[in-house]
Structure 1
């Protein structure tokens, strides 16, 4: 729950962040850590005494396009960052989503928030998650200590890979004050193949063929009838989409090969260039489900079994990551949704309508508690955010 009465502070230097955290720990106070504030509604917080925003830590520290490396403070807005790298023909290959309309939030997503939540878009199946592009950082722990990890080159990790730990920790372990990420050349061309009318199981087969072949598919999604009919796509039947990117001649050759492999799956159309890019923005932002009042779930599942999750729960689904990510609108109890995902070898996150995180129990829960105690023994940062509920 967002505390609207807590005082908000906006430090401008890492030293100010360190001082604020140290003072909070000494006074037994609790801090909510935010970037642009667009994901504040995800996860329930215990009461806090103040809100610390990284919005004014918004400087590009170093950008070396020829080295494919960028260092920035966490408050840099994603829109500004993507514009900067696009001007040099580069991109953030993990295709980070915004989700502002999806979760009904205001503000501008920031780089620190994206990394803290480990947010990744459709290209994750090809390029990896946000954590795979996270090379190094400087941060302030819940102990009020400044520490560093990683570096400013791609091959830099010895010992513990703390970037993987910070990505997805939702600000519960430390406050990032500087981050280094990998950027990649943007593709010169892209084509999206659209298959129509396939039921979920058949679409899963088609996506598996595409992903397991030599065509270097960079995104694969399936929209069942409800999602396909919704704005802004407004298709008349279920739609399965496969994206290929790269140099024009390479894309054309791979499209021809994939068309041959999928000839038994019915009619196939193609989207090129800007039309393809617009389509995948809609998938990345889950536009089909924005504004729907039902609880919204994000199920991470083994791709081959992805369709089984929503099929065990009444509701409406949209599949990304070749079936490995199932978005689900359902009124089913949270415990049942989490149980279905767990039985399939996955897990569930609720973006609205139910507690975001599940209960922390067993060996994994004990490990999480030990990690939290190591970085934030007094529970200063984002208290209760990952505690979860049944």
Structure 2
């Protein structure tokens, strides 16, 4: 285990990074380590624990703006917002159990750094669409701020968007400001039973392009549906196609009725209300069906929605033990496969490339596999060169999370 530094504030973070840069000592950045299994494995002599930088700095409920430290637990933020009937609209997932860790240990900084969003993303946007501003420390040890507490604040480079999904390789965050939104008064889910993958994606597409403002679109094949929070409402071996509706009581009721009329020709319908609906979407959000067994590799695929069933059929033809389900109207596929030293990377990425392209991220695998197989979708050389230039501009000594996203030079 690396020696760990625990800063008490922004100045401490800057001093530690300045020392690391001067001494050529790379640092791995982490909070509560709930996502330590995500990305390439960090191999550094020293670690910087920013999980102690936690707490709410300012909450202007009337203005829908929240400022806090990055080590604040997402679960604590959700409790705070819930008391004011507000929410994080990007629906941050809780992936800790996917790597065998405890639930409810994810931090806001981790959600931002990994750009993690749940089933509502196709409607509400990603984390980067809700990060208004931040303060942090570059790889030079320089303290700087970007953005502000208003939505229209961008002049020049939009740095808040840049740090989302950078996995701590550009800046050590010390403060973040997020836009929050009112929580829906009511939530219901319309279920269609028994559809194959192709018909299900067609039904989800019809719902997505309807005027009924859906807030969740997922399809669980039969084997996955049986493990879900609504398995009890479906017959054994029955697939579930789910469409979530949110809003005021009257509006939700009317839109559910309209969706039932629109989709009634696809198959038998049912509705989930309140707690059962929330349970289902929480399990979809957290990929709960694939938490066990831990030795199976897990892939996260982003593809054109209508091509998803062909991608999964291609993979299943070569590896019959593949298991999967669809989110984001079919644009997001969660895929789990038996352990293999290469994580079936060629099979998965070739299947994606053959159907219009997309992205295939290795979400869970053992240390040796994540060190040997590209975890993130390989970039074209021009884009990879641009990424390296951005990294160099923020962290010229390659101090912050080196190798987390791609092998470091000379590795």
| TM-score, normalisation: structure 2 | 0.91
Tell me if structure 2 keeps the 8 A contact 1:61–1:72.
yes
Structure 1 unaligned runs (5+)? Answer: none
1:46 CA displacement: 4.8
Deviation string 1:231-273 (CA, Å, 9 cap, x unpaired) is 5544421100000000000011111111111111111000011
1:388 CA displacement: 6.1
Between the aligned partners of 2:327 and 2:335, the Cα distance in structure 1 is: 11
- Counterpart of 2:308 (choices 306, 309, 320) is 306
Q: Does 1:174 align with 2:171?
A: yes
**CA distance 1:256–1:165, shift in 2 (3 Å):** same
Between the aligned partners of 2:248 and 2:42, the Cα distance in structure 1 is: 50
| TM-score, normalisation: structure 1 | 0.95
Tell me if structure 2 keeps the 8 A contact 1:359–1:387.
no
Between the aligned partners of 2:96 and 2:402, the Cα distance in structure 1 is: 24
Q: Does 1:380 align with 2:391?
A: no
Equivalence for 1:323: 330
**Stretch moving more, 136-145 or 300-309:** 300-309
1:307 CA displacement: 2.4
- Counterpart of 1:349 (choices 336, 339, 361) is 361
Tell me if structure 2 keeps the 8 A contact 1:45–1:383.
no
Equivalence for 2:319: none
1:30 CA displacement: 0.6
> 4+ runs of 1 displaced by more than 3 Å?
231-235, 358-361
Between the aligned partners of 1:229 and 1:84, the Cα distance in structure 2 is: 34
Equivalence for 2:344: 333
Deviation string 1:163-190 (CA, Å, 9 cap, x unpaired) is 1110000001111110000000000001
1:205 CA displacement: 0.3
Structure 2 unaligned runs (5+)? Answer: 317-321
Between the aligned partners of 1:30 and 1:100, the Cα distance in structure 2 is: 25
1:106 CA displacement: 4.0
1:44 CA displacement: 2.1
What are the within-5 Å matches in structure 2 for residues 100-111 of structure 1?
100-106=96-102, 108-111=105-108
Q: What SS does structure 2 have at the residue aligned with 1:306?
A: helix
What are the within-5 Å matches in structure 2 for residues 144-155 of structure 1?
144-155=141-152
Q: How many residues align?
A: 385
1:310 CA displacement: 1.6
Q: What SS does structure 1 have at the residue aligned with 2:265?
A: helix
1:340 CA displacement: 2.5
